[in-house]
Chain A
């Protein structure tokens, strides 16, 4: 085995070392705290919001309706959800091209919950050094006490997270009442535990491994980055050669760069990397190293920004461009698809018609010789008011419509099935299978109409 191969092997098989991120303060830390509070506030708060007397945001899976602020989405509207996901992905590309992994560092649920779990860990077990000491040399008694306290708080928070998650899918106030009397349904209970367990595992135990092994975005984000992308970079030209020194020493005399090799940038890193080794895919762009390095630079009375947000071009003394083909193309596709989605959504039909032939009888011959076909007519009224509809059939001249359970009236946000017979005289039938079209329209609103194709069977 060649020497470089053996070091590579060792790295691949390196056992995971527990990371004890050090607390950090600074502008980016404040930004992340703000992001955590806002995002978790939204997550835990939104299900409790009411709108028109019902839960404002409810993905009512049992009823197959999504309610979002007074809007009702049906399974047919799935296309808009996919559109929304595509737009989300495009925005991710766009922002990654502009400023790297902003999403990972400030908005990803993994980051957000890990941050909160770390706060709890700090609260119970203390700062980095105390936590390391506890794990290495702490007495069994102290370990059991502190660890069980920490895990209990984690578990309570995780359970609340799981409860909130299920509260997006089944009315949360009812769920809460049921929970208090221990009468939640089996699947509700299961999903509360499942999601709670996932939170506890991901934010408490897995942490940076989720980013390294589980996140697909982490693997391909480098494809969106170019030399004009803002990234967290260590200015090695300024920092090297690194070395310890006293505050009053002149680094020039010692032949040293600005990096005092204090290791703090490594200690604050939630994924345990050394930013001074260059851009690495484990870096989630949380900017904790910028904050801590700036504090040190301030103490040393050096210029800030030894580690900073900059582009590769700027770092090497060149010029950087915000608007470049990649960014412009992402922006064009993004605005085009957003426009398409908004247009599609605002002009979406508020009625759906589903016509199926009665499968039991191909056709029936009536006493007077006329031919009769049976249909099931499913009308989905997506509007917010009740409608009565008119129905006509085209394609065969003498076609007559007979409704068995009319009138065609459907309440708001409701679906109703009607039985329908179409009767024609055999003279107007050209073949055994005849294409026909049903047209449905709202009697009180001419803008609501829909056409649906069907077949009429003859002898």
Chain B
């Protein structure tokens, strides 16, 4: 490495999900950044090959301990699409609620434990001067987890999400209680979100194309017919987006990077905010006015804070609506489960391809599968972190170029904040591993 001099090496990044590292080098006149994924692959998608299609949600859930619900729902949807299974509106509504609860949980985890303390220069959220921030934040986090437990059957790696619907119906009484509890936390949540909105963040505006789901009149998170919109004005359906994704291998990373038609795109809370913010819920819309939204990755923290209020308000609204629909007794419309795991294999003989795209906490997540004779032939997971990897590297270069005069020691911490603001999940990203 004679011609290339490493000027910044974060070594193992603190406060991120998984194991990663960022280095910045000088190579001649160029500055080069490398975002290393050091997390080991667990070969979950390879494991699925040759397995019965209905196993996909259970295995995909293990991709990530923060956004497992999103992975299992996406897996169920991808398989359903491959096999041409139609699920009822009630199932979709319930999945939507579960999706929102998962995004709320993931955002709270990121804001409370990972990003805010580091931005404030603290060693831990438990060292914050205002103890109330931690107490309120962790209460919302626990409540979001409880919601997932009620809907999903367990707090982490939910077994209730299955191909075809839900394994068991959700009880109305529990549903109403959880909605009521969440409504009780909304005022406290405003305080927590205020704290995040008042953070002073560096300015690093850099143009690139943003991408997010788009559906007129809504702020789409989980939606069966949302299109994909780019900030350059183009709009496409899920299949077109999927076909534009390219996997690129890097020798310094255990996971592949993903490009879109040979170029950089950025997904995540900021992209959603830039493209869809006028459709946020009422409380979130008043907050959104406070920020001058620009393509500055550091603003993701504020975008997530706004989304926390949006998710809570949406959950309260949808939960209330659903409670009217769901009866205490088993509602066959909700519990439309095919008896999948019978000895014969429910999908023997059936085949097809399926792609499902939705807005996971960190951005657009794409699951795709090919099923043949009821068995999975190929399974791919394009995670938002894999898509954002190129943006992380380019922003790191930009940051170093612009802020070099403040010195490498200080710059290192800002660089870490930059990576963290993308909320990368390296355990997720590694599902697109470089082997085979």
**Are both chains from one complex?**
no
Residues of A whose CB lies within 8 Å of any CB of B are none
Residues of B whose CB lies within 8 Å of any CB of A are none
